[in-house]
Amino acid sequence: MNRRLLAIIGVVLVVAGILAMSSFFTVDQTEQALVLQFGQPRRVIREPGLWVKRPFVENVILYDTRVLDFEPPHEEVIVSDQKRLVADTYTRYRIVNPLQFYQTVGSEAGVRARLSALVSGSLRRVLGSVTLNDVLSNKRAAIMVQIRDDVAVQAKDFGIDVVDVRLRRADLPEENSQAIYARMQSEREQQARQYRGEGAEAAQNVRANAERERTVILAEAQRDAQRVRGDGDGQSIKIYADAFGQDKEFFAFYRSLQAYRDALNGKDTSFILSPEGNFFRFFGGWTGEAATAGAPHGTPPRAANPATGGAGAGAPPR
């Protein structure tokens, strides 16, 4: 009897536990609940706490009340100046009407698919009316606000509130980027060649000016040198003339000695001259009279060897 009673009590407790687990549910502070009966919505619970439902008849779907993120795949769009852009966006939304959300999209996966189409269409419409410079300028914030408002209006039918839509990246396609980089490189090389040409031209002008100044300086220096040399020659001639005028005989003797030095400075130099010639007239004395007076008229010339210091038979004594 006792065993049977205990078994009945145990069964009752298990059934009661199962009924309790099926009847009670909790709603977190970050959640909201939609109670369904055989798939039909019955009520919406927005307050957190412990709630009761009919066991085995009603079931509960919980939705997050926080802001949710959605990042659609990037796509190519064409702006108004016919340039292609790779746009990468992200969307932030909140579920504000669980009943409408359940009836239109059913789950977060369904709303993501709908949002992807809405964001793509709005992105193409808005970017198709602006230029690439607008996207890259301070007008970008206004463009994102326009896209957000457009998506938010259409997303209200899904029971969600679109908080923000942002352009994370707006770049040119890879093939366009390579073409632009090549064009930029070509422009920079062309500019570098222009700078090199201008530098070479400036260098040539500097060298030409320096060469011209050098030529002018050399010409002026040669002119001044010729003038100074002419003045020196004039003064030298004047000094020689003054000296010759003071003592003509000594001057003739001095010039003859210079001629002897210049003519007889070689070891193998030989002269065939007459002793009575004017060249040897100072060998007999500095007056030049003994050589011509002491030599007989018509004496044949003898060979003169400057190496031995002789001047032939008619040479005057030293």
Interval 242-300: pLDDT, tens? 777 777 777 777 777 787 777 777 667 676 767 666 766 766 665 555 444 444 444 44
3-state secondary structure of 59: strand
Q: Which of 187-191, 193-197, 207-211, 237-241 has the lowest mean pLDDT?
A: 237-241
Give me the pLDDT at residue 228, please: 92
Q: Which of 62-71, 115-124, 207-216, 303-312 has the lowest mean pLDDT?
A: 303-312
Q: At what angle do helices 248-263 and 174-246 cross, to 10 degrees?
A: 130
How far lies 260's CA from each of 98, 239, 270, in Å? 137, 22, 13
Residue 176 has pLDDT above 90, yes or no: no
φ, ψ at 195 (rounded to 5°): -65, -40
d(C-alpha 172, C-alpha 182), whole Å? 14
Average confidence (pLDDT) over 9-28: 77
d(C-alpha 187, C-alpha 318), whole Å? 95
Question: Domain spanning 68-172: which CATH class is it, in words?
Answer: alpha beta
Residue 58 has pLDDT above 90, yes or no: no
How far lies 107's CA from each of 26, 135, 156, in Å? 20, 34, 15
Interval 22-56: pLDDT, tens: 788 888 988 999 888 888 888 898 888 888 888 87
Average confidence (pLDDT) over 2-12: 74
pLDDT averaged over the chain?
A: 80
Amino acid at position 222, single letter: Q
